[in-house]
């Protein structure tokens, strides 16, 4: 298992980029950066590509609605080129709050659109003409489907460094998880609990793997967590409280009642009663109560917080659950402490 690091899109990016060089020196394998309704991630990844030498880079995620499939393919080819083949294109459906609320684009058919986006990207990387007749994307766009009739199939002018850039799908729903296992090189679930992974994702992964092209290789699994190696009980509790607040936001408030993917995930983990209470409290304005309603075992299972022996056991639990890359937000008193945390995790994972 490799150790990666999620880069926060709302933080002090230049300072994080400087520190990332220290992490790269002690064995960090991947930096993955998200994009919400924030600064775009492409600019930041281009900057990181120029600053780093060995670190793999990934978008985690670019949503499939606000950029066309061809633009996603162009962007990935460009980032892969300037990073000397270190880029992974992470995409996902996001949700209606962002897609419709921020971009003003209708949120529809996430599963079908994701499949077609992946097929179009790979077609473009192979420098094949953009001749594609999908249900959701028509290339060229002809007069019958609202075009002028003047479009013609084109192929990418540049020769991509790789004609098969790895693609990552961020997904937690059963159908999208199955699609990741079928069609993508990598899969990124959110709020990954090793002990609950089989119950929550096992059937969907098996369904997708049964259709998987062997040329894709083994499905890579990338998950995020928080790591703090400490014997200070107050620090341990403070970090776990931050994890609580994060989980409460997602399980309780990320989406409407009856349309919250993360709440549904907590149910699949076996926490149906807690999930309902967390959502009721959060949507009722009681964020503190929502966080307090999260079972301790769920919080401690999602995180890597405690003394070195405890953290090593949690690292092993993630590895045993099939995780390929564990992306950790290292928490320590200072920069040196964060670097030492990454170094220790690299040794534990290796």
Q: Which helix (H) or strand (E) holds 222?
A: strand 220-229
pLDDT of residue 168: 98
pLDDT of residue 255: 78
How far apart (Å, rounded) are the C-alpha atoms in residues 141 and 149? 7
Q: Give domain limits for the chain.
A: 231-305
How far apart (Å, rounded) are the C-alpha atoms in residues 208 and 180? 7
> Residue 188: what are its φ and ψ, rounded to 5°?
-125, 100
Cβ burial 308-337 (10 Å sphere, 16+ → b, else e): eebbbebbebbeebbbbbbbbbbbbeeeee
**How much is the pTM?**
0.94
How far apart (Å, rounded) are the C-alpha atoms in residues 42 and 20? 17
Supply 229's token pair: 């190696």
pLDDT of residue 258: 83
Per-run averaged pLDDT (10 residues), the chain, 350 residues:
93 88 98 94 96 97 97 98 98 91 96 98 98 98 96 98 97 96 98 97 98 97 98 98 97 87 96 98 97 98 98 98 98 97 97
How far apart (Å, rounded) are the C-alpha atoms in residues 66 and 300? 36
How far apart (Å, rounded) are the C-alpha atoms in residues 244 and 240? 6
């Amino acid at each position: 298992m490799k150790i990666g690091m999620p880069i926060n899109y709302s933080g002090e990016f230049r300072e994080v980029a400087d520190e990332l060089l220290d992490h790269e020196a002690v064995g960090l394998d991947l930096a993955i950066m998200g994009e919400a309704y924030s600064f775009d991630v492409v600019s930041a990844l281009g900057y990181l590509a120029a600053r780093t030498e060995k670190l793999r880079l990934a978008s985690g995620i670019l949503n499939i609605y606000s950029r066309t499939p061809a633009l996603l393919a162009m962007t990935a080819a460009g980032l892969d080129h300037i990073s000397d083949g270190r880029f992974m294109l992470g995409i996902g459906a996001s949700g209606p709050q962002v897609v419709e609320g921020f971009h003003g684009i209708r949120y529809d058919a996430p599963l079908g659109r994701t499949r077609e986006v992946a097929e179009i990207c790979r077609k473009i990387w192979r420098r094949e003409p953009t001749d594609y007749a999908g249900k959701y994307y028509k290339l060229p766009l002809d007069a019958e489907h609202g075009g002028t009739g003047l479009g013609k199939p084109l192929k990418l002018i540049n020769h991509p460094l790789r004609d098969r850039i790895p693609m990552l799908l961020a997904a937690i729903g059963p159908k999208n998880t199955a699609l990741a296992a079928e069609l993508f090189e990598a899969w990124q679930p959110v709020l990954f609990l090793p002990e609950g992974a089989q119950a929550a994702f096992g059937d969907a992964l098996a369904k997708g793997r049964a259709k998987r092209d062997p040329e894709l290789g083994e499905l890579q699994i990338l998950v995020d967590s928080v790591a703090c190696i400490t014997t200070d009980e107050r620090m341990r509790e403070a970090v776990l409280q931050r994890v609580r607040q994060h989980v409460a936001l997602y399980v309780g408030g990320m989406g409407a009642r009856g349309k919250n993917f993360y709440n549904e995930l907590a149910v699949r983990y076996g926490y149906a009663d807690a999930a309902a209470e967390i959502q009721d409290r959060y949507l009722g304005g009681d964020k503190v109560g929502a966080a307090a309603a999260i079972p301790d075992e769920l919080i401690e299972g999602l995180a890597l917080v405690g003394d070195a022996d405890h953290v090593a056991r949690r690292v092993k639990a993630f590895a045993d659950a099939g995780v390929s890359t564990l992306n950790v937000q290292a928490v320590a008193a200072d920069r040196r402490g964060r670097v030492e945390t990454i170094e220790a995790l690299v040794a534990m994972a290796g």
